Each structure stands twice: as C-alpha cells, then as structure tokens.
Chains A and B, each alone.
Chain A
Amino acid sequence: MSTFYFIAFLSIFFSILVISAKNPVHSILYLILTFFTFTIHYILLNAQFLAIVNFIVYMGAILVLFLYTLMLINLNKESEPVKPFMVKIAGVFGGGILAVALASSLKLVAASNPVILKNPDLGLVKNLGKVLFNEFLLPFEVSSVLLLSAMVGAVLLATKDPKTA
C-alpha cells in the first residue's frame, strides 16, 4: 500500500519537474522518469501487458522521437523565450483551480471502495488478446489504417519542399 503512495509522490514530483525545467532536454529526461513511474503503477495494478507496452511504446519510441526532434532543432543558439510573469501566475492559478474542482467533486461521490483485483489474470496478454480480437477487431484493424496514414502524413510534412531546397 505504501508503495503506491511513494510511486504516486514520485509521479507528481517528476511531472512538476517536466513543466518547470528550463532546458527542454531536461524536460524530456524527466518525462521519461515520469513514464517509468507510470509503468510501475501498471505493474502494481497487475496490468502486465500495458506495463510492457508503456515501456516499449512510450519510453522507447515516443520519447526517443522527441529527443531526436529536439536534437534536429538546434535550440542552443537562443535561450527559450519565457512568458510574462503574470501569465505564468494566471496559468498556475487556473490549473490549481482545475485540480481543486476535480478533487472537491470527489467528495460528492460515495465513499470509495478499495481497488481489489478480482481476476488476477485480467491484464495478461492471453486475456487481453481474446478481448481485443473478439470484441474490438474492427477498431484494431482501423487503427492500422490510422498508423499508416500518420506515417505517410509525417513523411510528407517533414520532407523538404523541393522548390525551396
């Protein structure tokens, strides 16, 4: 039980560091740590398939893509422009109000029951694969079309225009 609270504290701590770090490279490294704590959350919930997918897709693919783009875009020349102080205060205030509203709306619902894993192999690959290929077969196939179109779109957008190059 205390493991959850420790990891939750680490998640919040690293995600605050993500948005407050001056250097964007540091932000990405803190984001990797945040996603690692999310992986531990999935393991604690015994969602092993999601833990592995989170580890490979998010930490392995997406964040490496972020780092690559950041290295491609040379930001070292100029320091990052910062927003005015009042705008920052207003942003933090608005986000804080959102958090307080969400948290206080929790008070209205009935007392929460503890999260109990009724079926221990709920999040295993065998069980999820059966659900994925029975009930969600059409969305699964459509998502492959989405990934293909995203790939074509990314290549089209990122290649240099032959007229200007």
Chain B
Amino acid sequence: MESLTNTIHAVPLNHYILLSAIIFSIGVVGVLIRRNAIVIFMSVELMLNAVNLLLTAFSVYRGDASGQVFVFFIMALAAAEVAVGLAIIVMIYRNTNSIDINVLNRLKW
C-alpha cells in the first residue's frame, strides 16, 4: 500500500488534466468522424470516462471524498443511458435496417 501511494507522489495535477483533455478530445473526434451509431455511443462513453478520471484526480488532490461519490453517480447514470440508448438503436435498426446515422436525417422536422 505504501509503495502504491508513493508512485503517484510526483505526478503533477496538470498532467492528469492534460490526459483527460486529450481523451475527451478523442471522444469528440470519434463522434464527429464516425457514422455507425454504436461507435458514436462508445465515443460518448470515452468522454464520460475522461471526466470520471479527472473528478477522481481532483478528489484525491483536495482530499475530499465527494468527488468519488459523484463518479459513482455518473457510472449509475451511464448504465441507465446505455440501456435506453441501445434500446433506441435496436428499434431504429428494426425500422430502417441500418444503424447509419445519416439515414436518420428525416428526423430534422
């Protein structure tokens, strides 16, 4: 346990923020460049996880446990969101035989 907590001693907080920013941006790029609805969902999960990691890092940095409780709530929310979202994707696939999001442009009205 002691050696484990010693390993993070020298990592500056900025590097955690940088890592989370990079992974969040990768998630944004994934949403922008893919047309498969499931892959877009996975990019959203990537963004959620980047935020989770940042909240945990701040929670450890400030010595406040509330941040980790927030991450727990975000995980519960993500589970609910994925269940409903994948159900919607399955329904779309039944109706249009495709999960290409460009097929759904008739939704704009």
Contact = CB atoms under 8 A, between A and B. Distances in A.
A157 B63 contact: no
B104 interface: no
Interface in B42-72: 42-43, 45-46, 49, 52-53, 56-57, 59-61, 63, 65-66, 68-69, 71-72
Contacts of B99: 73, 75
Interface residues of B, number: 76
B69 A136 contact: yes
Contacts of A153: 83-84, 87
Contacts, number: 256
Contacts of A18: 26, 30, 39, 42-43, 46
B57 A15 contact: no
Contacts of A24: 36, 38-39
B107 interface: no
Contacts of A96: 25, 29
A115 B23 contact: no
A31 B26 contact: no
27 contacts: A1-B9, A1-B11, A3-B7, A8-B15, A12-B23, A18-B42, A18-B43, A19-B33, A19-B43, A34-B49, A44-B4, A45-B57, A57-B75, A58-B75, A61-B79, A62-B82, A66-B86, A69-B38, A81-B102, A83-B33, A98-B24, A106-B17, A112-B12, A116-B8, A117-B8, A117-B60, A128-B65
Given A44-B8, A150-B84, A153-B83, 16 more contacts: A28-B42, A31-B45, A58-B49, A62-B78, A66-B41, A69-B89, A90-B32, A96-B29, A98-B25, A106-B21, A112-B13, A112-B15, A113-B12, A117-B5, A123-B68, A135-B66
